[in-house]
Chain A
């Protein structure tokens, strides 16, 4: 692997290519392993489809295989029919997360800051946290006038815990000296929150939001199985009822892709909010 040596012997025209070669090398490294992973998943999927198609009992579901699914996926995208359910679902997840953040972050700051509050809330919060959000469905339907309201409530109640506890964890990790120096410099509580606490916990908050997005996206689909007539969960249920298994699988694909994208956005936010110097 004596790359430098071989490159030194190249002619000047090729030497000008070196930056591009370097870039290509980086791209290759960043793409190579994910490609292997994706290919592996496709292979498994294809194999599963082949097994289903070759079994008399399951032959009816053969369109779950990659071929029909991708064709249906392409239909959904090219006809534009894919956007409406995505929009409805993102709307619900968006509002659910909004409420979870609006309540969870201040609650987390308080719990992290006041030990007493942490002790008081521990049992009830852990108790509530362990109840599946979907268990609240009947109550949510009664309590909210619209299906949208009920689903947003379910998402919020699922997403609030990771945000609250990640925030509290962040607050507990704040170096007490930072607060001492702040008050020594004459910071009032608003200064302390804005210049010290929030930047110090930003990364933890976004890590909590990342977990919350995962939970919210998972809760969304079953929540949309019930009652509503829009969204990705509904689309899957609808496709099942009309026996369009290729379309059903295409929506599963859409859910996965969007979920992945939401997570990728969170990872970027976490990185951006980190105050640790990049080394």
Chain B
């Protein structure tokens, strides 16, 4: 079952920096929900993700997963990074097995990994050294590695941004499918609007200096998503507008553009802009 996350008023200062990197972030994620964090580089979205993973502690506020405060990494919530960062001295199987080995769960390990590698389409590569794989295949191994420990929550830090377009789309769909099948909650960081609309149930737009959540957009499209559909394209342009708002903060008041839009579907999108 997926994890319920509650991010309670996180504010974070990096040592030596006057302005907070993150300010009063408050978000909840329902079990099984997929949430995208988008924003320009430096808005603190990656910092926030590291806090969810327990790799970084906020200076104020806390993250709770299923009511439990996150203070360190756990195999129950697993992070995938932009680079697959596989261990080049190991085979595909060994890389995928590591989480289970670290947990001491060696019983039935082989079958489990076989099954997982099959799921990510690498069954025939199990005994191959990871250095011989393509970037997309390597990221699949990283995905298998993350899923091996049965996480309740998957955190993705721009994991597909280094891949070519075809592989990227394939992996976006695959991760979404697997997460939905297994009921895993997903929080991912991206600066690819396409990716956000393709994968997320809800998109949070972040602004920088200090990092706050400036807008929220629900993506109520059925899976698997048709990227050429009108609504998909509409949502993308809507998101792009939010993005524009954060990039050029218009002085005193940013207009809630979603409501200003004379479009019939806008009510269903429930988009709103929070205080900028």
Contact = CB atoms under 8 A, between A and B. Distances in A.
Interface of A: 175, 177-178, 180-188, 191, 195-196, 199-200, 275-277
A200 B102 CA distance: 18
Contacts of A177: 81, 83, 85
A184 to B, nearest CB: 5
Contacts of A187: 98, 102
Contacts of B85: 175, 177-178, 180-181
A275 B73 contact: no
Interface in B69-84: 73-75, 78-79, 81, 83
Contacts of B149: 185-186
Main secondary structure of the interface of B (DSSP, over half): mixed
Given A177-B81, A277-B129, A277-B132, A186 B89 contact: no
Main secondary structure of the interface of A (DSSP, over half): helix
Contacts of B78: 184-185
Contacts of A191: 101-102
B55 A199 contact: no
B51 to A, nearest CB: 13
18 contacts: A177-B85, A178-B85, A180-B55, A184-B53, A184-B73, A184-B78, A184-B79, A185-B73, A185-B102, A186-B75, A186-B102, A187-B102, A195-B87, A199-B87, A199-B89, A277-B129, A277-B131, A277-B132
Contacts of B129: 277
Contacts of A277: 88, 129, 131-132
Contacts of B99: 185-186
A277 B74 CA distance: 32
A186 B81 CA distance: 16
B145 interface: yes
Given A185-B149, A186-B75, A195 B101 contact: yes
B93 to A, nearest CB: 14
A181 B85 CA distance: 7
Given A191-B102, A195-B101, A185 B88 contact: no
Contacts of A200: 87, 89
B103 interface: yes
Contact of A186 (B55, B74, B88): B74
A81 B96 CA distance: 56
Nearest to A192: B102
Contacts of B131: 276-277
Nearest to B83: A177
Contacts of B73: 183-186
